[in-house]
Amino acid sequence: MESLKSKKITSIWIIAVFVLFLVSIVLGILMRLNQGEIIDQSPVTFYSNMTTHGLTMIGIWFVAGMAAIHYLLQRYVKTSFTANIIALALTVIGILMLWTSTFIGEFHAAWTFLYPMPFKVMWAAWATPLFLASIAVLGVGWLIWSLSLMAQILKKYSISQAFAWQHFKKNPAVETPPFILISMITLTGVIACLLAAVVLLTLFFAEFFSNGSFVNDALLMKNLTYFFGHTIANEMLYLGLAVIYELFPEVSGRPKWKTTWYVALAWNFTLVFILTAFFHHLYMDFVQPKGLQIVGQLASYFASLPAAGVTIFSVFIAVYRTKIKWSLTNLLFFMGIAGWVIGGLGAVIDATISNNVVLHNTLWVPAHFHTYNAMGNVLFSIAFFYWFSTQSAQNIKIEKYTKLVLAILLIGGIGFLLAFYIAGADSIPRRYSTYPEELSSGATWAKVGAAFATVYLIAILIFFYNISKRCLKILFLRS
Amino acid sequence: MLKNIVFAIIATCFWSIANAQTTAALKEETNIYEKIYNAPLKIVGEQPLTLHERCSRKPLLLALVFTRCSGVCNPFLLQLKENLKFKEKGKSFDVLVLSFDPWDSKNDMQLLAQRYQLENDKQWFFGVTEDIEALNKSIGFQPVWDSVSKQFDHDALLVGINSEGYITKKLIGIRQGHDLDFLIASVNNVFSPTYRIANKNMLLSCFNYDPITGKNKLGFGLLLIALPAVLTVVLLISINFYVRR
Amino acid sequence: MQQQSILLLFLVLAGIATIVFVYVYLSSKKTEKSENGMSNPLKKRFWFSLILFVILGIFASVTIPKSPYYLFADENPAMVVHVMSRQFAFILSRKAIDPDKPSGEPIELPVNEVIEFRVTSMDVNHGFAIYDNTHRLITQTQAMPGYVNRLRYKFEHPGKYDILCLEYCGLAHQGMRSSFNVK
């Protein structure tokens, strides 16, 4: 069961994630304000902020998902507190190293740090190795954590049980809880993509230390970069889903969800699709073999099948015409699922190669992934944070202004995202610090986006205040 | 000190190879997709006809030589003959060897064919043209007459012409199998949306496009992409074994 | 035009999704205790998944052949334009570009003819994106160092076309551009 130690460390994670989230949102708003020509940052500052914003966001919501998994996993298996602490320490150190390289060293190769840009040094010379080292530190911490959690699961469940293969037969002897299945699938994907990062960083460092005699192939590096980057961003979403499978019925007063043959099938297929969808980042690299491009489109398309047919449908079944007990937790889960679906629609459209020709690297791309995150995965995590923080407190009623906060969140989020989608359809490029004169609608939509993002920020601040207050209480509990 | 000298020598070699490749690569990129000059041809064993008529019959690999060459022509033709012997897709094109020397006659070319034992080869054809200047211009070929050695100073040039008379690709120098495959694919109108620049020393690439099959052969790099997934499975099994012992 | 229909499709689908979610949510508020929720959930799940599968399959088979790698593959381009990208400029030329002495010239292309762009980069990844004179993105390809990408396109309208770099390449990425005319 959940010990006080584990409650405290989860509280630390929550507060840390919230603080970093607020900082990152501010960086994001500054970016939109610059694009809207309301403030004037130098391009170097803009792009350094962009690099920081992207990596910090992915990092924090990944660890938020991992912290939630770790906490809930204790219901089923014994977890390692050491691994959790190591991950926390290395995450903090990694983020500090990252921020040093971007804020002080002015490293601005974007969060994708696409080869060979880190070596075309237009910043402090030490920033490149420090940046690469920061990714390595983060990766090591997260790899240790994932391997530890996987090992703990495997202590209790065999491989085939953890992947729920026995559910393909009638009347399986052992029942695999959905939470274990999804955690297992997700951790497998996480480990694979972190190993891709290891290969990537090895090649980067090999070239760095070879002083020019070893040169990497740009195509290989790009494939590895997106194997790591795309997959980790997707897996952090699926970490949130594991939490939903576990908590949604519980919080709603509904019967616990069980693994059936189609749940097992869907999630096993999801692993395959997740690991092959990353090819959709290379559609416009005609150097990529056509077969891999087609694999990318098909995997991206069909990844939506298990998501829609199993997860989303299960949520509908749990809600439709049932006397479900609504609380902020499951409301946020429900809204997050809607955000995830809508982000998915934008994604599948972009994952169509013939559309990608006119959407790639326009604002459509940040449009869909901000939908997945800001109105999807973030809500999953905040739901968990809220649930966790109210577990230990007594007599928590839904605060009176909950509906108001949710409305602010929705208005802010939807407005912010629509600005991206419309600008993307208007061919406005992404990652531009300012827009050329003839693409002036870019600046207009940036102003709109900044305004709505500020509204969204207000909602997040309110959540932060309430949840962190409770988490701090937990942190300083004596027993 | 010795290490530095060795490194400098190696670096110079690479640099000069890269440099040479760059210059050839640049010259190869001219005249692509332009229609070749419709030169009147006198080909050994055939009726006189024009170049466009000839390539509409079958796409051509056009090689330019002269019979009195004591330089590159001989090794060039020998190597080409060797390389093409083993190409299965050899049936989809013809090789036309033309002389760019106004002194060469159709008879001289016939003798040349005999020298290479290609007189009766179904794929190789030898001939001359009256309009050599115009033909040279249309393919960017500029032989220079050296009056001292009484020789033409020229590149070894192979031009790919598709059945509509368009120049699809040029190869300068004596080239090996892979480049030749590309040339053959191009005259057969097989479109590859990409090609690699032969400049840097890249060890690990994802794939190598094989123009013969039109498919991609696995490069070492592709294994590196699959490696994380493979390693994960290995880790999974190892951890399972270790914790359940 | 393509982008307008994409945006419309997205807004319609997102709207439908929102309505469905709101409907499902409201249904739980109005329900009586005796109701059992969704009837025949497994059957509905199956049909939903099957319909989605078919829709995705149709879209995949219709759209994949329209990918840029297959466009105009069987035709002889009327002209080849070489594009060399570097931080932070595009160099365009009818002749191959020497990486040691890169130089270009103003480019004029014929209308209604297949043009082939051969795009590469001297340093980092860049994006070669063509915008028409209504400032709409019409086609693009990546410029990757060490490789040449061949982009074929047929311009149906005369006028000035802009080239913008669409792959983030450093601090002057937003100013990296060029243009050409189609007559």
* pLDDT beyond 60 at A416: yes
Asked if C7 and A358 touch (Cβ cutoff 8 Å), the reply is no
The CATH number that applies at residue A448 is: 1.20.210.10
What is each CA distance from B112 to B43, B120, B132, B175, C152, in whole angstroms?
Answer: 13, 12, 18, 21, 42
Q: Are C57 and C98 within one domain?
A: no
Sign of CA dihedral A406, A410, A412, A417: positive
Q: Give start and end residues of each alpha helix (H) in B39-88.
A: 51-57, 73-85
Same domain, residue pair C61 and C85: no
Which residue, C138, C133, C141, C140, is CA-closest to C159? Answer: C133
Is C144 domain-assigned? Answer: yes
* Residues belonging to chain C with any Cβ–Cβ distance to chain B shorter than 8 Å: 68-69, 73-74, 76-80, 82, 95-100, 116, 118, 120, 146-151
What does the pLDDT average to over B109-135? 92
pLDDT of C36 over the 60 cut: yes
Taking an 8 Å cut-off on Cβ atoms, the answer to whether A155 and B243 are in contact is yes
Task: Using the predicted structure, report yes or no on whether residue A106 has a pLDDT greater than 90.
Answer: yes
* pLDDT-wise least confident of A35-44, B69-78, B194-203: B194-203
The answer to whether C83 faces chain A, any CB pair under 8 Å, is no
Name the percent of chain B lying above pLDDT 70: 79
Query: Do C41 and C108 lie in a common domain?
Result: no
Is B16 an interface residue toward C (CB < 8 Å)? no
Residue where one domain finishes, among candidates C17, C34, C66: C66
Using a CB-CB distance cutoff of 8 angstroms, which residues of chain B are in contact with residue C148? 194-197
Average pLDDT, chain A: 93
Supply the DSSP symbol for A169.
Answer: S
How many CB atoms are closer than 10 A to CB C94? 14
Enumerate domains of chain B plus CATH numbers. Answer: 28-199 (3.40.30.10), 202-245 (no CATH)
Residue B88 pLDDT > 70, yes or no?
no
In this prediction, residue A305 has a pLDDT band, given cuts at 50, 70 and 90, of very high
* Same-domain pairing of C117 and C58: no
**What is the helix (H) or strand (E) element at residue A159, kind and residue range?**
helix A159-162
> Could you give the CA distance from residue A24 to residue A465 in angstroms, rounded to a whole number?
17
Instruction: Give me the pLDDT at residue B11, please.
Output: 40
Q: Is the domain of C50 the same as that of C83?
A: no
Q: How many CB atoms are located within 10 Å of the residue A124 CB?
A: 14
Q: Are residues C117 and C142 in the same domain?
A: yes
Chain A nearest C-alpha distance from B225 (Å): 6
Q: How many domains does chain A have?
A: 1
Predicted pLDDT at A399: 63
Please check whether residues C92 and C169 belong to one and the same domain: yes
> pLDDT by residue (tens digit) across A11-21?
999 999 999 99
Contact residues, chain B, for C80 at CB < 8 Å: 29, 32-33
Over residues B206-226, the pLDDT tens digits come to: 555 555 555 555 567 778 888
Residue ending a domain, among C66, C99, C120, is C66
- pLDDT over threshold 60, residue A138: yes
Q: In terms of residue numbers, what domain contains C103?
A: 79-182
Q: Domain limits at A463?
A: 4-475
Do C58 and C142 sit in the same domain of this protein? no
- Cβ contact, residue pair A317, C177, below 8 Å: no
Q: Are C117 and C128 in contact (CB under 8 A)?
A: yes
Q: How far apart are CA C117 and CA C143, in angstroms?
A: 11
pTM: 0.90
In this prediction, residue A298 carries a pLDDT of 94
